[in-house]
Structure 1
Amino acid sequence: MKKVYFIGIGPGDPELLTLKALRVIKEVDLIIYPGSLISEEMSSFLRKENVKAEFYNAFGKPLEEIIAKIKEYLEQNKVVARLVSGDPALYSSIMEHIEVLRDEGITYEIIPGISSGFMASARLGIEFTYPELSNSVVFTRLSGKTGGATEEEILTLAKTKSTLVFFLSSGLAEKLSTLLLKVYNPETQVAILYKLSRKDEKIILTTLSQLAGTMLKEGITRTALIVVGDVLKLMDKNFHKRSILYGKK
C-alpha cells in the first residue's frame, strides 16, 4: 500500500513517543527526519528500533528532492514516514508536502506527537489556563525571515491577557521584549525553555525587561520557547481558585 505517515516525535525524549508512532516507525521502509531538530537520543533510539529502514536527513533539502525520495519508495510499494519534531499541527511545514501528495493521489496519515508547548507546561509544573489568570493559550511566533505574526497581531494577542507561548522567536528576543513592553509591566514574569526534555535542557525564569539580556547571556538563539503570562505566578503562589467541576455540590 502506497502511504506516507507524518509522525510527531515530540520535543526530544524517546519516552515521549506515542505507542502508535513507535509501532509505525518500526514498520516503515524509509524514515525522513529533520536533521537540524531531532535530538541525538531520539536519532539513536529510532535507528535501534528500525535497523532495516533507510534514514534520510531532510535538513537543507528542497521540497522537490524530498518528494522525489518519497515517490521512489512508494513506487516500490514501500511505506514512508516523515518525522517532525513536536506535533505536526504546529509549525511543522507538513502541508506543503501534503498538497503535493494530494495532487498525486497519494494516501497519507498524520500521527500526533507531544508539542514542546505542552511540554513547557509540564516542566514548569503548572497549567496554562487558570481561573482569573488566563482562559486562553496562544501558540504563536514573531515575524522574522520566515514569516510569523506581525507586531500588530502580537500586540492584539498580548492585550487579551492569554498565556502566550512563542515558538521560533528566540533570535528575536530583543524585538519581542520591546514589543511586549508596550502592553506588559517590565517585571512581568517570563519563562525561557531551551531544548525541552533533552539532556542539555535549560529552564530559565526572568522578567520581560531582562528577557533579551538573559537570552544573550545564556547564548540561546534557537530551539527554545518563550512563555509570557500571569499564569507563571502559579509557580510560586497558590491562588486556591476552585473550578465548578470540583466545587462543593
Structure 2
Amino acid sequence: MSQNKTNGEVIFIGAGPGDPELITVKGAKTLEQADRVIYAGSLVNPELLKLCKPGTPCHDSAHLTLEEVAGLMLEGVKNGEKIVRLHTGDPSMYGAIKEQFEYLDKQDIPYTVIPGVSSVFAAAAAVKREFTLPDISQTLILTRIAGRTPVPEREALAKLAQHQSSMAIFLSVQDMGSVVQALLEGGYPASTPIAVVAKASWPDEEMLMGTLETIVEMVKAAGIRKQAQILVGDFLDPAKGYARSKLYDPTFTHEYRQGTDK
C-alpha cells in the first residue's frame, strides 16, 4: 500500500473489554496522540476518551453508517490527521473491520491495527478458569448463534458442540434458551457447567455460574440481555480431574531444564 501524500493515517485500536486500564500501553499512547477519534460508543468505555488531547474531535459511530464513518476518515486523512478508530475488545472479533479496510484500500489510505484484550479473556479472568486444561480440553471455540447476522450452516452451534471442547459464545445471551437447546442437541450433558459474564471487567460486572439445566432461568431472573459472554465446558468445573502441565513437571525435560528421574 503506498503512503498517502498528506501523511494522514488511520489506526484501529482494540479498546479492551471495558476496564479502561485494559487497553494496551501501545493503544493508550496512540490514543493520546490522536487528532481525531471515531469510537464505538455503544460498547467502548467513555473513560478512555479522557486520554485524548483536549479538544480532540471524538465521533460516536453507534449512530453512523459505514459510509459516514468512512467520510470522517477521509476528511481527517486529507487534513493530515492521525485518526484512531476505537473498537471494543479486540477489533478482529465481530468488529466489522474488513469493510472499513476495503474502503481505505480503495482510497489508498494507510492504516494499521493495534490488538486489544477481548471480552472472552476478561470473562475467563472473572471466573478464574483456564480454557485449555490437559486431559479436559485443548481447544477453545469462539462463536455466536445466528441472529440478524446469519451463521453458516456448517458452523451451527449444535454442530460445534459435538466437539465437546471449551466454548465461548458471543452476542447470544438474548436468546439463552436457543443456546442451551443447541448445546444439548450437540451432545453436552445437561449437567455441563456454564457461566454467563455480563460486562466483564466493568464496575457493574455480573457473573452467573450454573449448568445447562439451570442457566436459562438464572439469566432470566438476572435480566441479562446484552454485553455478556457465555462460557461452557468442563474446564469450568473445579472438581474435574485434569493432568498436570508437562512444562512445570520436574520429571519433564525441555529446552530450558533437564528433568529428574523422580
Aligned length: 244
| Equivalence for 1:161 | 164
User: Are 2:246 and 1:244 aligned?
Assistant: yes
Aligned amino acid, residue 214 of structure 2 = Q
Which of 213, 218, 225 aligns to 2:229? It is: 225
d(CA) in 2 for partners of 1:173 and 1:212?
6
- Residue segments in structure 2 that go unaligned for 5+ positions in a row: 1-6, 252-258
RMSD between aligned alpha carbons? 1.5
Say which SS state the counterpart of residue 106 (structure 1) adopts.
coil
Q: What TM-score comes out, normalization by structure 2 length?
A: 0.89
User: Are 2:41 and 1:35 aligned?
Assistant: yes
| Equivalence for 2:207 | 203
User: Are 2:177 and 1:171 aligned?
Assistant: no
1:189·1:206 contact (CA, 8 Å) conserved in 2? yes
d(CA) in 1 for partners of 2:72 and 2:52?
22
CA-CA distance at 1:60 after TM superposition:
2.5
For residues 2-41 of structure 1, the aligned pairs below 5 Å read 2-39=8-45
Say which SS state the counterpart of residue 227 (structure 1) adopts.
strand
Aligned amino acid, residue 92 of structure 1 = G
CA-CA distance at 1:122 after TM superposition:
1.3
| Equivalence for 1:181 | 184
For residues 3-152 of structure 1, the aligned pairs below 5 Å read 3-39=9-45, 43-148=46-151, 150=153
Say which SS state the counterpart of residue 59 (structure 1) adopts.
helix
Say which SS state the counterpart of residue 82 (structure 1) adopts.
strand
d(CA) in 2 for partners of 1:11 and 1:149?
26
User: Are 2:164 and 1:193 aligned?
Assistant: no
Task: Give % identity.
Answer: 34
1:31·1:56 contact (CA, 8 Å) conserved in 2? yes
CA-CA distance at 1:161 after TM superposition:
1.5
d(CA) in 2 for partners of 1:32 and 1:156?
37
CA-CA distance at 1:240 after TM superposition:
5.7
Aligned amino acid, residue 171 of structure 1 = Q
d(CA) in 1 for partners of 2:211 and 2:54?
47
Deviations 1:200-231 (A, max 9, x none): 10011011122222211111111001001010
Deviations 1:39-89 (A, max 9, x none): 2xxx13422543231010000211001100111111111110000000011
Comparing 142-151 with 25-34, which one deviates more in the overlay? 142-151
d(CA) in 2 for partners of 1:146 and 1:90?
14
Aligned amino acid, residue 105 of structure 1 = D
Q: What TM-score comes out, normalization by structure 1 length?
A: 0.93
1:194·1:224 contact (CA, 8 Å) conserved in 2? yes
CA-CA distance at 1:148 after TM superposition:
3.1
1:140·1:148 contact (CA, 8 Å) conserved in 2? no
Larger-gyration structure (1/2): 2
Shift in alpha-carbon separation, 1:207–1:194, aligned structure 2, 3 A: same
d(CA) in 2 for partners of 1:19 and 1:50?
16
1:193·1:204 contact (CA, 8 Å) conserved in 2? yes
Say which SS state the counterpart of residue 5 (structure 1) adopts.
strand
Say which SS state the counterpart of residue 195 (structure 2) adopts.
strand
Deviations 1:136-184 (A, max 9, x none): 0011001111223548632222111111100000111111111111211
CA-CA distance at 1:244 after TM superposition:
2.0
- Residue segments in structure 1 that go unaligned for 5+ positions in a row: none
1:29·1:52 contact (CA, 8 Å) conserved in 2? no
